[in-house]
Chains A and B, each alone.
Chain A
């Protein structure tokens, strides 16, 4: 039992150790931020590699914790994101006086996400969901002196507390209807009464809050604008990826008997989400709000694939989220470098950015085109697989609608790219200093965006 636990839960246990280590480091006086950053970089790298060694599948704690082949892949995608975070946002982290707490909370959130992906019991799921959302609110407040940072954090904690209240209401109805909280028992009961549908609806609303699916998206842009750039990146990439993975697992495993019902709901919400995300992104002036709305519209594409409920849908969601992680982290990293040095976040400040910062401009261009889904770049293949998964179920109307919206989204991505490369006006931002670590990270991101779509082994690895 003991050795079994050490192997199955190795990533979670390693994260716990890492958290303890960071707590102990806090006691050491006169720690330099540089040392902490290098150390955590190595720790996160070991942690990332650990996810590929000696993986086994199985269950623990009477079926409450379950490691499957797909949960291993999902965790590896998330730990890649965790490894890239300190690398890409080093310029911001180096200046922060509470760097250790920042990394500590980030590790706590990731631990919550890992447990959430592996949970096979409603109690376990609820606890890990809270572990991955309460510290996030504290992270949003990390620009302690900025007024809008606390405003964003306040909005975040209130919405997440409210949504977890709704989620709990759903779980209590599920418990009343089936008498069990284990995922397998709930799926086996196969009940389709009104109570079950109401329970699923409440359950899904909570997910919609966390994923910022359209009727529940109002907090997203405000929180992203208020949060420090690395936290906004973490929210839009890691938190969204984890929630999408868990929503997919739960819909496929726990509620297959309600498929006819949630199939329609997901399709309609995906169309609404893509449309609203695009329409709002068109008129944003702040670059963080712009990226927030673009990430809302990306979630719509994921929902479209989840609605298909097929093995190919699962693989395509994994693949898309890996690509989305790379492209969005690259975009946020460029924004972070520009913001840290100049404290400017408006889109018009990026006018003529290319003149002084050609390298950053090219990376940003690749990221924007990858997010828009322009063919040779990885983003195109990600979206293509999502749409073909949606088409596999025969929902052609919604697939065509999403494809048309890809063209609309091209407009605002290209608008930003044109702004960056315009030569007429005098550049607002002067030359930005990039540290070697950040530069290495950005080069990795750029190469990944160029080749990820063309390498079949990545897709084969994610196709489980």
Chain B
């Protein structure tokens, strides 16, 4: 039996990636790992766009373009986030969110 990847395989993969990202974002306490989890979420969205574009709407390029823009924006976001994390590291000497507890209810 030959197995060719179809839309459902891609969607399964992308939703798995999405939930791994969400899980990582909520459980990890290291700021850089949290950023990596967000990248996982964004990549799962990229996969989604490409899969929809290829299997459902093959005549267009909208999904592919969207993917390119998401990659670019994710880089910008990571740059600002890392700048902030470095600034935070200068104050705390740590990148653990548990250490950043000055602001609490």
Assembly CA distance A158 to B70 (angstroms): 16
Asked if A152 contacts B103 (CB within 8 A), the reply is: yes
State the CA gap A85–B32 with chains docked (Å): 34
Is the CB–CB distance between B62 and A137 below 8 Å? Answer: no
Q: A153-B87, A154-B81, A181-B62 are in contact. List 10 more A-B contacts (CB 8 A).
A: A134-B76, A147-B92, A150-B84, A151-B88, A161-B35, A165-B21, A165-B45, A169-B48, A172-B49, A172-B52
In this complex, what residue of A is CB-closest to B44?
A: A169
CA distance A2 to B42 in the complex (A): 36
Residue contact B45 to A175, C-beta cutoff 8 Å:
no
**What are the 6 closest A-B residue pairs judged by CB atoms, nearest first?**
A165-B41, A176-B52, A172-B48, A222-B103, A168-B45, A150-B88
Q: How far is the CA of A123 from the CA of B49 in the complex (A)?
A: 12
Q: Could you show 19 A-B contacts with beta carbons less than 8 Å apart? A: A123-B65, A123-B66, A126-B73, A130-B76, A137-B81, A138-B84, A152-B103, A154-B85, A154-B100, A157-B81, A158-B34, A161-B77, A161-B81, A165-B38, A165-B45, A168-B41, A168-B42, A169-B45, A172-B66
Residues 29-61 of chain B, each 1 if its beta carbon lies under 8 Å from chain A, else 0? 001001100100110110011001100110010
- In Å, the complex CA distance between A16 and B91 comes to 35
CB closest residue in chain B, given A224:
B103
CB pair A154–B65 under 8 Å, yes or no, is no
Is A180 on the interface with B (CB-CB < 8 A)?
yes
Interface string of B81-99 (1 = CB under 8 A from A): 1011101100110000100
Closest to A148 in B: B102
A126 and B72 CA atoms in complex are apart in Å by: 12
Q: Which of B41, B57, B66, B92 contacts A169 (CB 8 A)?
A: B41
Which A residues are within 8 Å of any B CB, using their own CB?
Answer: 122-123, 126-127, 130, 134-135, 137-138, 141, 144, 147-148, 150-155, 157-158, 161-162, 164-166, 168-169, 171-173, 175-176, 179-181, 221-222, 225-226
- By a CB distance below 8 angstroms, the chain B residues around A155 are 103
Min Cβ gap B94→A in Å is: 12
Our pick among B65, B73, B80, B92 for the contact of A137 (Cβ within 8 Å) is: B80
Chain A positions within 8 Å of B84 at CB level: 137-138, 141, 150, 153-154, 157
Evaluate contact between A175 and B80: CB separation under 8 angstroms: no
Which residues of the other chain, A, contact B100 by a CB distance below 8 angstroms?
151, 154
Chain A CB within 8 A of B69 CB: yes
The verdict on A158 contacting B102 (CB below 8 Å), with A169-B18, A175-B66, A179-B56 known, is no
- Give the shortest distance, in Å, between B102 (CB) and chain A (any CB): 5
Q: Within 8 Å CB of A153, what residues of B?
A: 84, 87-88
Tell whether, in the assembled complex, residue A179 and residue B80 are in contact, meaning their CB atoms are under 8 Å apart.
no
Q: Are B80 and A138 in contact (CB under 8 A)?
A: yes
- Minimal Cβ-Cβ distance residue in B for A284: B105
Q: In the complex, which residue of chain A has the Cβ closest to the Cβ of B14? A: A172
- Once the chains are docked, how many angstroms separate the CA of A242 from the CA of B41? 26
Complex CA gap A175/B51 in Å reads 11
A126 touches B42 (CB 8 A): no
Residue of B nearest to A222 (CB): B103
Assembly CA distance A234 to B89 (angstroms): 26
Contact indicator B80/A157 (Cβ below 8 Å): yes
| Docked complex Cα distance between A127 and B66 (Å) | 10
Residue of A nearest to B99 (CB): A151
Query: Which of these, A127, A147, A148, A175, contacts B62 with CB under 8 Å?
Result: A175
Residues in chain A near residue B81, CB distance under 8 A: 137, 154, 157-158, 161
Please, how many angstroms separate the alpha-carbon atoms of A165 and B24 in the complex? 14
Cβ-defined contact, A127 with B73, below 8 A: yes
The answer to whether residues A181 and B66 also contact, given A154-B84, A172-B48 and a CB cut-off of 8 A, is: yes
